Structure 1
Amino acid sequence: MIAIYPGSFDPITFGHLDIITRASRLFEKVIVVVSANPNKTPLFAAEKRIQQISESVEHLDNIEIDCFNGLTITYAKMKQAQVLLRGLRVLSDFEKELQMAHTNKTLADDLETVFLATSTEYGFLSSSLVKEIAKFGGPVDHLVPQHVARDIYRCYAKT
């Protein structure tokens, strides 16, 4: 069974990696799809995010990383995926994600959404929080992989 895990991953965090690692044990293949969020201005270009994710999951043999802009269900059909994977941290995530799952079901009845709750230690973690901490000079290397932390520090050193 193929699962699609879409997101902006700007940057990828240990919370995302927790979901990816656990999903790799549940599904034959997990495709991590870097997608644009029209409501956000990314810190990193899509190519850089793909590189960051690739380095972070190189130890997992059933993970594919790709980029797509458009409806996730269009991409899922193109890849013959059966599952959309979504991570949940807090109750507000569930409300938003459930609405999206219901909407996707009206567009692609054969595609199921599977929710994975993040592990407790990552329940607070978001890419936005990581960027905010780094922007004001705080440490983020306990929230993201070392190579991603270096990239973040380089970005904010330029501003």
Structure 2
Amino acid sequence: MNIAIYPGSFDPITNGHLDIITRGAKIYDKLIVAVLVNVDKNCLFSIEERVELIKRVTKDIKNVEVLSFDGLLVDFAKLHNSKVILKGLRTMSDFEYEFQMALMNSKLDSEIETVFMMTSSAYSYVSSSSVKQVAKFGGNINGLVPDELILEVKKKFN
């Protein structure tokens, strides 16, 4: 079975993330969305909330599993019998950062490959940070996050 890991904070999941998940699920037998527990980050949503929100918006994609993790990504990949880390890219700055991470992961485990997927142009400007910024000041986040999560995001700022 060809299993890929799609890691991230997903705080919150955006339509750009969902685009990568949907397209990645068409390529791999199983796609594990790995939600990072990052104690150094002040997240809007708890790890449990983020996992639940992603499960909600991916429930109709049968080969997607959503799990949380902490520690090294390569260890998580090995634990789940995956040889592929799938990373979404929006910009050249994303590439520079993700390329460094890919090289480090390769150094840690040369059996695991990082595959980069360009986001659809419709979402190339969308990030979780920008969604939070817009929502914080009462701006319209329609089209930035899945429709069923708009109220969840707005509630965090009320």
* Fold agreement, TM-score > 0.5: yes
User: In 2 relative to 1, CA 38–97 (structure 1 residues): closer, same or farther, beyond 3 Å?
Assistant: farther
Distance of 2:149 and 2:51 partners within structure 1: 11
Instruction: State the superposition RMSD in angstroms.
Output: 0.9
Residue aligning to 2:8: 7
Work out the CA distance in 1 between the residues paired with 2:136 and 2:10. 17
- Do 1:52 and 1:147's aligned partners in 2 also have CA atoms closer than 8 Å? no
SS in 2 for 1:143: coil
Where in structure 2 are there 5+ consecutive unaligned residues?
Answer: none
- Unaligned runs of 5+ residues in structure 1 are none
1:27 aligns with 2:63: no
2:117 paired residue number: 116
Q: Percent identity between the aligned chains?
A: 46
Q: What secondary structure does 2:157 align onto?
A: helix
Q: What's 1:79 paired with? A: 80
TM-score, L = length of structure 1: 0.96
Q: How many residues align?
A: 157
Q: Residue 154 of structure 1 corresponds to which residue in structure 2?
A: 155
Alpha-carbon distance in structure 2 between the residues aligned to 1:149 and 1:40: 22
Contact 1:14 1:122 in 2 (8 A): yes
Aligned-residue offset at 1:39: 4.7
Alignment deviations for residues 35-66 of structure 1 (CA, whole Å, 9 cap, x no partner): 03355210000111111101111111000000
Q: Where does structure 1 differ by over 4 angstroms across 4 or more consecutive aligned residues?
A: none
1:147 shift after superposition:
2.5
TM-score, normalization: structure 2? 0.97
Paired with 1:37 and 1:47, the residues of 2 have a C-alpha distance of 13
- Aligned counterpart, 1:140: 141
Give the deviation of 1:146 after TM superposition. 2.2
Q: Distance in 2 between matches of 1:145 and 1:75?
A: 27
TM superposition shift of 1:135: 0.3
Q: Tell me, in whole angstroms, the C-alpha distance in 2 between the residues paired with 1:74 and 1:81.
A: 10
C-alpha distance in 2, partners of 1:91/1:39?
25
Equivalent in the alignment of 1:94 = 95
Deviations 1:63-111 (A, max 9, x none): 0000001111110010010100100000000000001101100001100
1:145 Cα deviation (Å)?
A: 1.2
Within a 5 Å distance, the mapping from 1:34-49 to structure 2 comes to 34-49=35-50
Residue 26 of structure 1 aligns to which amino acid in structure 2?
I
